[in-house]
Amino acid sequence: MDVSDFFGEVNDYREEGRCFHDLSDIIMLVLCGYLADCDTFEDIYDYACEKEAILSTFLSLPGGIPSHDTLNRVFRHICPTELEKCLTDWGSEIIGLLAKKQLAVDGKQLRGTIKAGNKQANVQIVSVWAQKDRLCLGQQQVADKTNEINAIPELLQVIDIEDSIISIDAIGCQKKIVDTIIERKADYLIGLKQNQSDLYLQVQDWFEFIHKNLEADISHDMGHGRGEKREVWVNENLRFIDAHEEWTGLKSVVCVASTRWIHGKIQFDKRYFISSLTGKTAREMGEYVRNHWGIENQQHWHLDLTFYEDRSSCRQDHAPRNLTTIRKTALALLQREPSKMSLRRKRKRAARNDDFLVTLLTQLTI
């Protein structure tokens, strides 16, 4: 197995001839540590010292195992875009063409970077998630929540999204973002934000008037003391929605009404979406809406609950952004491994079973 070249395109910022450890070894050691149930640089160093025999079979390790301080220092200064490109290129190679695939775009705060007295994290990352393949195809750091509006078009420019379906929550309901998606020859499904007052009110009034004449897709979910009824309507008749002409490619609008029963209490919610898709049934649109939250349930949730990302104390320089790239790589390897067990169990198994660790890493060469 030759996985040592996976991070070979990351340029070494260090002075040549004065380094005891290869840069690709350092990055791969951190990836192995995250696969093997480690959460800090100290954990990774301890693990690597105990597993040096197996690690040396696919890493050069000319100076032995680098200290946890070395791991920390290097990850603070690696160029984050170069490291992210390794993940993007690998994901694109696995998936191939993105045509007809749904790509979910969403942001996440790294709460471990919140400074005392602040509400917002210093580091916030917007990701593009291939829903069906459960892979992160790219990410972009933003300064704060409002800057997602600027980061999303930049992120979509570096991925070949032609003929794919881009889904975004209401933060992405901006004409600039819609223009970028259409220019890139993709389709969109975007939550309609209330601050787009003209369009929102017109869509809301139009559905109130016409929804009884539309065929709804109705679904029910029950279990764990809660139940939900979801009704979805889709309408391509936009002649009474004057504001739609200001939005590039807008061809249909969607209404999703949810009624939830949670421990005897009833909650009602109604959301609206705009889309460039045509010819889709209410059921198909409802599936796109639900599938969008795969980025929350299958990526963000596991980053926090399986990899404890929000507890990470790494806050300096590029370390938080670089580490989330490695976590996403480890997450993809664990999720794509077909064993029927939780991701936490897989991490613990990789820590105990060297053959299983090698099996996970072998996916990098596919």
Query: pLDDT by residue (tens digit) across 43-52?
Result: 999 999 999 9
Query: d(Cα 342, Cα 258) in Å, to the nearest integer?
Result: 30
264 lies in some domain:
yes
> In the predicted model, is pLDDT for residue 76 greater than 50?
yes
> Any idea which of 22-36, 88-102, 227-241, 333-347 has the lowest mean pLDDT?
88-102
Name the domain count of the chain.
Answer: 2
Average pLDDT over residues 10-30: 88
Looking at the fold, whether 46 and 87 belong to one and the same domain comes out as: no
Q: Can you tell me the distance from the alpha carbon of 217 to that of 81, in angstroms, rounded to the nearest whole number?
A: 42
φ/ψ (deg, to 5) at 185: 60, 40
Q: Which pair of structure tokens corresponds to residue 180? A: 């970028």
Percent of the chain with pLDDT over 70: 95
pLDDT at 36 over 70: yes
pLDDT, tens digit, 9 for 90 and up, residues 317-334 = 899 999 999 999 999 999
Mean pLDDT of 73-100: 87
Residues 50 and 103 reside in one and the same domain: no
Would you say 177 and 190 are in contact if contact means Cβ atoms under 8 Å apart? yes
**Model-level pTM?**
0.89
Of 39-43, 117-121, 226-230, 359-363, the one with minimum mean pLDDT is 117-121
Do residue 170 and residue 38 come from a single domain? no
Q: How far apart are the first and last CA of the chain?
A: 11
Assess contact for 93 and 363: CB atoms under 8 A.
no
48 and 91 in a common domain: no
- Is there a single domain that holds both residue 123 and residue 257? yes
CATH number for 261: 3.90.350.10
How would residue 132 be classed by pLDDT, with cut points 50, 70 and 90?
confident
Instruction: Using the 3D structure, point to which of 274, 301, 328 is the last residue of a domain.
Output: 301
- What is the pLDDT averaged over residues 99-108? 89
Mean pLDDT, residues 142-171 taken together: 85
pLDDT the model gives residue 1: 46
The domain in which residue 193 lies consists of 83-301
* Per-residue model confidence (pLDDT) at position 110: 83
Listed residue (164, 174, 173) closest to 271, CA to CA: 173
In terms of pLDDT, which residue wins out, 157 or 182?
Answer: 182
Give residues with Cβ within 8 angstroms of 156, minimum separation 6: 105, 128, 166, 177, 180, 181, 184, 186
Q: Which residue has the tokens 């649109």?
A: 285
**Is the domain of 197 the same as that of 323?**
no
Considering the domain architecture, whether residues 101 and 200 belong to the same structural domain is answered as: yes
Average model confidence (pLDDT) across the chain: 90
Looking at the structure, do residues 269 and 155 belong to the same domain, yes or no? yes
pLDDT digit string (tens) for 242-286?
988 999 999 999 999 999 888 778 889 999 999 999 999 999 999
Quick one: three-class SS letters along 139-186? Answer: EEEECCHHHHHHHHHHHHHCCCCCCCEEEECHHHCCHHHHHHHHHCCC
Residue 180 lies in a domain: yes
pLDDT for 255: 95
